[in-house]
Amino acid sequence: MPDVDNLKNAKKFYTDIPQKTEGFFLKGSNSLDWGMKNRLARIFNPETGRTVMLAIDHGYFQGPTSGLERVDINILPLVPYADTLMLTRGILRSIVPPSTSKSIVLRVSGGTSILKELSNEDIAVDIEDSIRLNVCAMAVQVFIGGEHERETIINMTRMVDLGTRYGIPTLAVTAVGKDMKRDARYFRLATRICAELGAHYIKTYYIDDGFETVTSSCPVPIVVAGGKKIPELDALTMAYRAIQEGASGVDMGRNIFQSEVPAAMIQAVNAVVHKNETPEKAFELYNTLKNES
Ligand code: 5RP
């Protein structure tokens, strides 16, 4: 019991100052509960409203991808420059120090490999493990138009329901199958379906033509994947255009960890995302850091 002798009278009530009720900074997220918002605010920087997610979850269906052979050696040095790490629980537990203060987005769908039909996924992580690992969001692959479209949509809605129970957001990862057309019409369809069914934010791909119609018709934040490795200036240009056309960040993997100098590249991407740096200036930064390294 606290010491209650000689208690001071409470008198600082500031009756002339109304309590502020702040809106939440993130698109479409104002009606979420406190825990959801707090987790999203650890993924998206509240000062810029944007995020640099470092995606290193590729091994869950394709094994030790180039650049991810040794996550301890190649990836841990990049962590300070990311807002969020997107990865599997296997890599998280075996390699990432629990002392990290970075937010974690956990890959929770799986069950297939590059040797078979990739859309045949299920939920591969119990919600209790996501809670135990203190994650800020759970990522589920959704294959709109894919062979197992229905199952993957239901995987996502199950995670939205479970995550809502515990205050953990769901990231819908829109996958593009080999035979799917990557155009604005397809991405509007895929992202909107995920948002309508409850995803809290959505990962999709940048397209040169009409990307702003994808971001504007999606009521929750969109982050863009990097896709296959392309020259550094082209990747920075893609990230710049995506941000200027309404994306709330990147969820970038290969264009960072397969870069000639990954630490320089992630810092250049960070400048594009958080400082609106032009691709040319960011590329200059990349080259300066590369020469220093
Ligand atoms: C793999 C993923 C990746 O995390 C995502 O595609 C981002 O990585 P990259 O920039 O290399 O495309 O979801 O399924």
Predicted local distance difference test score (pLDDT) of residue 203: 98
How confident is the prediction for the chain on average, in pLDDT? 96
User: What mean pLDDT do residues 153-176 have?
Assistant: 97
User: What mean pLDDT do residues 182-207 have?
Assistant: 97
User: Is residue 193 scored above 90 in pLDDT?
Assistant: yes
203, 229, 275, 281: which one is catalytic?
A: 203
Residue to mutate (ligand 1; options 56, 105, 173, 222; most atoms within 8 A of CB): 173
User: What mean pLDDT do residues 169-179 have?
Assistant: 87
| Cβ contact 138:92 at 8 Å | no
Predicted local distance difference test score (pLDDT) of residue 1: 73
| Cβ contact 88:106 at 8 Å | yes
Q: Which atom of ligand 1 is nearest to the CA of 86?
A: 4
Predicted local distance difference test score (pLDDT) of residue 241: 98
Predicted local distance difference test score (pLDDT) of residue 178: 64
User: What mean pLDDT do residues 150-173 have?
Assistant: 98
Instruction: Give the model's confidence band at 179: pLDDT under 50 very low, under 70 low, under 90 confident, else very high.
Output: low
Residue to mutate (ligand 1; options 51, 52, 57; most atoms within 8 A of CB): 57
Predicted local distance difference test score (pLDDT) of residue 98: 98
Residue to mutate (ligand 1; options 51, 85, 178, 251; most atoms within 8 A of CB): 251
User: What mean pLDDT do residues 110-120 have?
Assistant: 92
pLDDT tens readout for residues 10-30: 888 999 999 998 899 999 999
Instruction: Give the model's confidence band at 2: pLDDT under 50 very low, under 70 low, under 90 confident, else very high.
Output: confident
Beta strands in the chain (DSSP E): 51-55, 84-87, 103-107, 109-110, 122-123, 137-142, 170-174, 201-204, 222-225, 249-252
Q: Name residues contacting ligand 1 (CB within 6 A).
A: 55, 57-58, 86, 173, 225-227, 251-255
Sign of CA dihedral 26, 218, 279, 177: positive
- Distance (Å) from CA 21 to ligand 1 centroid: 37
Q: Which atom of ligand 1 is nearest to the CA of 250?
A: 10
Catalytic annotation on 203? yes
User: Is residue 106 scored above 70 in pLDDT?
Assistant: yes
pTM beyond 0.85: yes
What are the phi and psi torsion angles at 55 (to 5°)? -90, 120
